[in-house]
Structure 1
Amino acid sequence: MRRIILCLLLMTGLSYAQQIKIGEKVPDFTLDTVLNASSKSFKSADFKDKIIWIEFWATWCGPCISAMPHLEQMQAKYKDKLQVITVTNEKEERIRQFLKNKPFKLWFAIDGAEQLRKYFPFAVIPHSILIDTEGNLFATAAPEEITEKIIDSLWAKQKPKINVKTDNLTTDYIQTYFKVPDTVKERVLWQPEIKGGPGMLHTFALDSNFKGRRLTFINVGLNNMYMRAFGDFPYGRTIDKVKDKNRYCLDIIVEKPQELIPALKAELASKFNLHANITPYDKEVLLLKIEDQNLFNKVTRNSSGKRTYFARHGEIDQQGITMNDFADFLEIFGYGKFVLDETGNQEKFDIKFSFAPEDPQSLTKILSNMGLRLEKAHRKIDMLTIE
C-alpha cells in the first residue's frame, strides 16, 4: 500500500520589504476580524502600555493547538499587562467551527491578506511575536519560550534573555540548496540540517525529468528516511526504537526509477548501523466500504488523467486518486486510526473537501454523502520497526 507523505512549506510569494527587525518600532496595525473579543475590530493603539503577544497558527497545525493552553494560562495570569492575539489566514467560518469544538478563550484574529506576516515573516508555525510596552519588537520565539519570567521582566522595562526563533525565509529550498542540471543521471548529496527551515520530502512527482528517480529529504529524521525506503510507512505504522533527534538533508538521484528505492536503502545501510523489520500485527482497523452505490456513483471520476497530491489535516484536494489512496488520506489526516480500503473499486476520482479534524463526525458526514461508510474490524497490519 502506497502512503501519502505531505510536504508543507508555509512560504508564499510574500514580499518581506516591510519586515520589522528586533528592537524596531512596530507600525500601527488594524485587526478587522477578531473572534472571542469584546469588539470585532481593534487597532494596535488599543493595547498601548500593554505587552502584545501575536501567535501565528492554523487549525491544521498540531503543535499550534497544543500550545494554546499555555497561551490561555499566560493571558489569564497577566490580563492587565498582556494581550495575546492568535492570528491565522484561514476563513472566519473555519475558525468559528474550530472554536465550537475547541472553546479556547483567547482572541482569534483573521488576517486573510497576511499583512502582519509581512511585518513578521516566518516559515514554520507556531510562531510567536512579542512586542514590549513601548511598541518595539522584543522577540520572535516558540510559544513555550514565553514564560512568566519573560513577561515579568518585560513589564519591569528589562530586556530578558530569550531563545529567538529565526526562520529560514528561503522560498525555494531545492533551487537554493540542491540545484542540479537536468542532465544529471546520478547523484548522492548529504548536507547538515538547514537551520530555521521546515522539514519536508520532495518526491518530484510532477517533474517530467526527475519523476520516479529523485528524492530530496530536507531537515528530516532518520525514521522518515527509513519509512520511505521500506514502503512509505506513515508514523502510525512505524515503531521507532532509535529515536534519533538529529535532522538530515539528502538528495538522491538515479538513472532509472526502479533503482531509486534500492539506492536509498543502500545509502542508509552504508551510513547508519540500523535495522528495519516489517512485521504483521493484529490491529483494530476501520474498513472503507460502499454504503450507497447511487451516491457513490456521483463522486467525480477523473477524466484529465492528471494526478495531484495536496492533503493536510482537515483538507484534501487530489485528482486521479483511488479509493486505496483515499483510505490512506483518511488514516493519516482524518481519523488517526488504521483505515483499509475494502470498496473493491479501482477507478480514479477527483476528491476535494474540507472538514473539522477536531470533530470526527464532520468527516463521517462527508463520507456518508459520498456513499461511503467505515466499519470496525480486526486485520493484520504490517508495522515497520526501526532499531
Structure 2
Amino acid sequence: MKKIVIIALMLNTSVFAQVKKGTEVPNFNLDLVNNSPKYLTMSELKDKVVWLEFWATWCGPCISAMPHLVDLQQKYKDKLQVIAISNEPEKRIAQFLKAKPFDLAFAIDTADLLRKYFPYQLIPHSVLISADGKLINVTSPEKITSQVLDSILNGQEVHLEEKKDNLSTDYIKDYFYADDHVKHKILWQPPIKGAGGMMFSHLDKPAFSGRRLTFINASLTSIFSRAFGDVPYSRAIDSLGKLGDETFCLDIIVPKSDQLENTLRQELSKKYRVNAKMVKQQREVSVLSIIDQEKFAKVKRNTDGNRTYFARHGAIDQQGVTLAAFAEFLESFGSLRRLVIDETANTEKLDLKFSFQPEDKNSLLQILDEMGLGLKQETRQINFLMLKNE
C-alpha cells in the first residue's frame, strides 16, 4: 500500500461533540499529501471498515503495535482502511517513517480536531468505524483481532472491550485537593482508572514547593525510587516481582522540604516488608563531557532563575537545567540505552530546548556535538537501588 500522510481537518468546525458508540461519525475532510486524488472525505470510505489509530513517535507502546496494524491491513486489503493519526508536525512523521517505514496510511492532526470527537488521555487509542460510517467502539489496538474484523465484515454483533480514559485535566484538584496551609498529609488511594502514570512535584507552587509529592498510578518500585533520591528507572534493581509492578496513588505533604524523602521512606517501610538500600556496582557508562568550549559557550544560559521540567522521549524543554540533570535526561529519555553520568564539573544553569529522533541514535549525538558535548564509554562504580522482599 502506498504510504500517505493525511492532514485531518473538519468539514464543519463549529460543533465538536463526542461521537457515541453506534452513532454516525462526522464526514471529515481529509487533505491528502503526496497522493492522488488530493482530497478525500470519510464518506468515501463508507464501504470499508475504518480504523483510526491515534499514536505518537515518542510512544513506545504505539510503535510496538504498528506491526499488528500492518498485518491486519495487508490481510483485509480493500475491506479495511487503517489510518494512523498523530498530532505531531508532518516533518516529524516523515523523519520517523524514513527510519522506520510502516506500510500504512499516516495522518496528522496538529490542531487535535479529531480528538474532540474521540477524546482520549492515553495512547495508543483505537477508533473502529463500521462500513456504514457508525462508531463501533473505541478500544486498544491489541483488542482488534482477525476474529473481531471477521465478525464485523460478516454482519455479526461484536463485543469489543471499550477503552475508557479518565478525561480529568486536573488530578490534583479532582482527587487530591489540599489547602495551601496544610502542613502534613499522607493519603494512599487505589489506581485511577483510565489515567496515565505520573508524578507531580509541585515545584511551581510556592506553598508546596519541595515539601509535597503526588503520585498518580505509580508503581511501587517508582515510589521507592523517588524516596531514595529520584533514582532513574535504569538504576533500580527490582526483585519485588508482581508487588513492584502494582500501581498506587499517593499524596504526601510534610512541613519542611528536608523531611520529604525521609518521611516517604518511613511510610513505605511501615506499609511494605521491603528491604531497600543503595549499593555500588561497577558498570559500563557513557560519560558526558565538554569537548568544544567554543560551541558550549553558545548554549543559552538561564537568566530569569526559573526551573522547568518538560521532558519526554525525543524532546526536552527545560529552563535552569544543569549538565548533571541533563545527563539524567539523556539516560531516561535519550536513545542511547546506556547509563549516563556527568563528569564536566560544570554547574551553570542552562535553558535547553530541542527535539531529536529516538529511533535514530545519531540524531541525538549530532545535537550533542552542536552543543559542544560528547559521550565517552568508560567503566565506573555507580549507585543502584536494590529492592528485595523481606
SS at match of 1:351: strand
Equivalent residue, structure 2, for 1:230: 228
Asked if the contact 2:125/2:138 (under 8 Å) is kept, the reply is yes
1:143 CA displacement: 0.5
SS at match of 1:225: helix
Asked if the contact 1:128/1:141 (under 8 Å) is kept, the reply is yes
Q: CA RMSD in A?
A: 1.5
Q: What one-letter code is carried by the residue in structure 1 that aligns with 2:381? A: K
Q: Verify: 1:348 aligned to 2:349, yes or no.
A: yes
Q: What one-letter code is carried by the residue in structure 1 that aligns with 2:18? A: Q
Equivalent residue, structure 1, for 2:3: none
Return the match for 1:171 from 166, 169, 172.
169
* Cα pair distance change 1:120/1:253, threshold 3 Å: same
Equivalent residue, structure 1, for 2:30: 31
Equivalent residue, structure 2, for 1:284: 284
1:40 CA displacement: 5.1
Asked if the contact 1:16/1:121 (under 8 Å) is kept, the reply is no
Q: Verify: 1:315 aligned to 2:311, yes or no.
A: no
1:159 CA displacement: 1.7
* Cα pair distance change 1:68/1:209, threshold 3 Å: same
* Cα pair distance change 1:33/1:337, threshold 3 Å: farther
For structure 1, which segment, 38-47 or 74-83, has the greater mean C-alpha deviation from structure 2 after superposition? Answer: 38-47
How high is the sequence identity, in percent, across the aligned residues? Answer: 53
1:105 CA displacement: 1.1
Equivalent residue, structure 1, for 2:64: 66
Equivalent residue, structure 2, for 1:271: 271
* Cα pair distance change 1:292/1:313, threshold 3 Å: same
Asked if the contact 2:310/2:318 (under 8 Å) is kept, the reply is yes
Asked if the contact 1:34/1:109 (under 8 Å) is kept, the reply is no
Higher relative contact order (CA 8 A, sep 6+): 1
1:32 CA displacement: 2.1
Q: What is the CA–CA distance in structure 2 between the aligned matches of 1:320 and 1:34, rounded to whole Å?
A: 40
Q: Verify: 1:96 aligned to 2:97, yes or no.
A: no
Q: What is the CA–CA distance in structure 2 between the aligned matches of 1:97 and 1:82, rounded to whole Å?
A: 26
Q: Per-residue displacement from partner, 1:184-236 (whole Å, max 9, x unpaired)? A: 11111111111111111000011100011110011111011001011211111
Alignment coverage as a number of residue pairs = 372
Q: What is the CA–CA distance in structure 1 between the aligned matches of 2:134 and 2:176, rounded to whole Å?
A: 37
For structure 1, which segment, 330-339 or 37-46, has the greater mean C-alpha deviation from structure 2 after superposition? Answer: 37-46
Asked if the contact 2:43/2:133 (under 8 Å) is kept, the reply is no
Structure 1 runs of 4+ with >6 Å offset: none
Q: What is the CA–CA distance in structure 2 between the aligned matches of 1:16 and 1:89, rounded to whole Å?
A: 20
Q: Per-residue displacement from partner, 1:57-89 (whole Å, max 9, x unpaired)? A: 011111100100101011010112110000011
Q: Per-residue displacement from partner, 1:78-137 (whole Å, max 9, x unpaired)? A: 112110000011000000000110011111101112111110000100100001112111
Q: What is the CA–CA distance in structure 2 between the aligned matches of 1:364 and 1:299, rounded to whole Å?
A: 16
Q: What one-letter code is carried by the residue in structure 1 that aligns with 2:331? A: E
1:281 CA displacement: 1.6
Equivalent residue, structure 1, for 2:339: 338
Equivalent residue, structure 2, for 1:120: 118
Q: What one-letter code is carried by the residue in structure 2 that aligns with 1:309? A: Y
Q: What is the CA–CA distance in structure 2 between the aligned matches of 1:277 and 1:263, rounded to whole Å?
A: 16
Equivalent residue, structure 2, for 1:9: none
TM-score of the superposition, structure 2-length normalised? 0.93
Equivalent residue, structure 1, for 2:212: 214
Equivalent residue, structure 1, for 2:134: 136
Q: What is the CA–CA distance in structure 2 between the aligned matches of 1:383 and 1:229, rounded to whole Å?
A: 13
Equivalent residue, structure 1, for 2:18: 19
Q: What is the CA–CA distance in structure 2 between the aligned matches of 1:40 and 1:233, rounded to whole Å?
A: 50
Asked if the contact 1:31/1:110 (under 8 Å) is kept, the reply is no
Q: How does 1:37-56 map to 2 (within 5 A)?
A: 41-56=39-54
* Cα pair distance change 1:231/1:327, threshold 3 Å: same
* Cα pair distance change 1:80/1:208, threshold 3 Å: same
Gaps of 5+ in 1: 1-14
1:277 CA displacement: 2.3
